Homo-oligomer: A and B are copies of this chain.
């Protein structure tokens, strides 16, 4: 098509409200339009990118025997009652009533709908395994949408659900899907996406992975070992601590520590290294506000996701009341109120002589020995892994913490939904069994924004050819030059007839600089530049958006050359796609 007909404006200036580059470029390039907080319309270039991504995903899902279905956006609340999520999920689940007063929700994920769809069908072991997927609009009422298409409230997502009769079969299919996802990211031009072990959060289930595109603007923190393959979401990363007893066992002594509020202050005051102190972090259970205290080495932080799992329910940082009997700032294991749940992080294991609160205003203990002065405890892993920490896999102190965007995720759900919703089948022996499930998601719009985030320069996105809105951008530098215009028009016609995807800029009133700026914002990987000067010498210029190619070719060989470059670009992408 011709750029003069393309709906949408392009802007030179970076919008002041855009924090990340992909958001700024997608606004500047006429890709997206804000409609409400975290809700966007897509202009034609963005729709073209997302359709290509959808097609790649669809091909890969079909390749692993997925069957495309369609679930509703609006679902009855009663369906989510069955799984318990109508109650358990927070405000991000948008609940409302329809005209008849029935409770409805907007689907943010479709485990319940998938179980409802296959419940009657999947009643015998002979029907298993199978996988269904959809590519559909979802809504998640995020409290803080941000970064353009990266964290929105309404989004298009591919979600897939697989059904199995054994854990082994689930695991085998999970691996297939794991590989399939790597193919999808590679085909979309971001083979560098890494799969990291993750915490399953509200989805339930045990094993799960997030696919992370590493970039400083990512919202997630990931622990990555520089020496081995270990990668894990911070929430799932095991924290391993080797302790060194810098102070030998001593007597338990109550010491006066007035005005020392933090454990570091206390350590400094008492001249004890912070690694020989024990701090208390206090939470409350969401359900009944009961107190939960974690004792942890003074220099470390609590990982709330891990703690929540240990507690078995959701928690929040505590508000400590006078009636609680907890002495904020001076909390220790000895003499706590009885109704408090207590955990000891494994970072305290083996430390013979600790500084710890005395549960008495302005007093701490020194020489505290957990086993001797409190009793035998079972240590738990509740600490955040730290930069330079010990890799749980290779054991070296080689953990780095990096940021990333989650572009996909896969979950082994187990029987969470089949059990609660009654999805059972008869096995070979006629016995009733619960189906075993997996689920697999990729956000389409977020994928587009993520690619833009890692493939751009100051002037615009540098789209991989596989998902570019157009493969070829043709600029006619002097549309008022009859000869050049005639040549470019003919070339454009020929390229269209050859099935090539061309955006043609034949605007008369636009100078080359502005034309190139627009081409940079559209980000087509191949640019053909027709100008009277080159044409007089029988030449046409071809450059690539990533600047790796810049050549002049004979004007009769343009199509051939462009096709060649196109094939090379696809080949380069496909090199990274494993079989």
Binding site for B on A (CB under 8 A): 1, 5-9, 30, 33, 35-37, 39-44, 46-48, 50-51, 65, 67-76, 79, 91-92, 94, 96-100, 102, 104, 106, 113, 116-118, 120-121, 130, 132, 134, 136-137, 139, 141, 143, 153-154, 156
Contact = CB atoms under 8 A, between A and B. Distances in A.
Nearest to A75: B35
Given A73-B137, A75-B36, A113 B41 contact: yes
15 contacts: A5-B130, A6-B67, A7-B130, A8-B121, A35-B71, A35-B72, A35-B113, A36-B74, A36-B102, A37-B102, A41-B69, A41-B72, A42-B70, A43-B117, A51-B68
Nearest to A100: B37
A40 B98 contact: no
Nearest to A121: B9
- How many copies of the polypeptide does the oligomer hold? 2
A67 B35 contact: no
Nearest to A44: B67
B136 A137 contact: yes
Contact of A116 (B41, B69, B106, B117): B41
User: Closest 4 interchain pairs by CB?
Assistant: A96-B96, A42-B70, A36-B76, A44-B67
A117 B72 contact: no
B42 A69 contact: yes
A69 B44 contact: yes
A2 to B, nearest CB: 10
Contacts of A70: 41-42, 46-47, 50, 156
Contacts of A120: 9
Contacts of A100: 37
Contact of A72 (B9, B40, B71): B40
Contacts of A79: 35-36
A415 to B, nearest CB: 19
A99 B134 CA distance: 27
A75 B118 CA distance: 32
Contacts of A44: 67-69, 132
